[in-house]
């Protein structure tokens, strides 16, 4: 399992291809150019690898900001 901070860096660099530090908790996912269906699959791959769960279609649709992803990580790893 990686820390939330490490996850954030990985999300920035490997999933939505922005520079480290660009993503804030309130960053709207829709505002990111690379937030698309491929990014969603990559996100699920990362969640499975580092936290042992994936998000289903409904959960993905409910994501608005980056903090929503963090909330799922906290919630599913309780």
Partner 1 sequence: MAYFQNTHLNVRGISCAVPGDPIDIRDIESTFTEKEIKKFTKMVGVEELHRVNGDKTTLDLCVAAASELMGNINWEPDEVNGIIFISQTPDYFLPTSSSIIQEKLGLSDSCFCFDINLGCSGYVYGLQIAANMLNKYNKKILLLVGDTISKIISPEDKSVSLLFGDAGTATALEYKEDSSLSSFILGTDGKGANNLIVREGAFRNQREHKSQNVSGDYWKDANLYMNGTEIFNFTLREIPKLIEETLTFHKAVKEDIDYFIFHQANKFILEQIARKIGIEKGSLPINIGKFGNTSSATIPLILTTELPKKNNYIDRCTCLLSGFGVGYSWGAAVINFENTFVNNLIRI
Q: Which residues make up the interface to partner 1 (CB under 8 A)?
A: 34, 36-38, 40-42, 44-45, 48-49, 54-57, 60
| Distant-in-sequence contacts of 53-61, Cβ < 8 A, 24+ apart | 53/77
Minimum CB separation of residue 48 from partner 1 in Å reads: 6
**Residue nearer to partner 1 on the CB measure, 21 or 57:** 57
**Residue nearer to partner 1 on the CB measure, 23 or 60:** 60
User: Bridge-partner residues for 65, per DSSP?
Assistant: 28
At how many degrees (to 10) do helices 66-76 and 37-51 cross?
Answer: 30
Tokens 């499975």 belong to which residue? 48
Minimum CB separation of residue 52 from partner 1 in Å reads: 10
3-state secondary structure of 24: coil
Minimum CB separation of residue 67 from partner 1 in Å reads: 20
């Amino acid at each position: 399992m990686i820390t939330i901070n490490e996850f954030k860096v990985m999300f920035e660099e490997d999933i939505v291809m922005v520079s480290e530090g660009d993503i804030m908790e309130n960053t709207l996912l829709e505002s990111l150019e690379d937030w698309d269906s491929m990014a969603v699959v990559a996100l699920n791959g990362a969640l499975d690898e580092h936290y042992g769960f994936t998000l289903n279609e409904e959960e993905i649709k409910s994501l608005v900001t980056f903090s929503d992803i963090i909330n799922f990580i906290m919630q599913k790893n309780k």
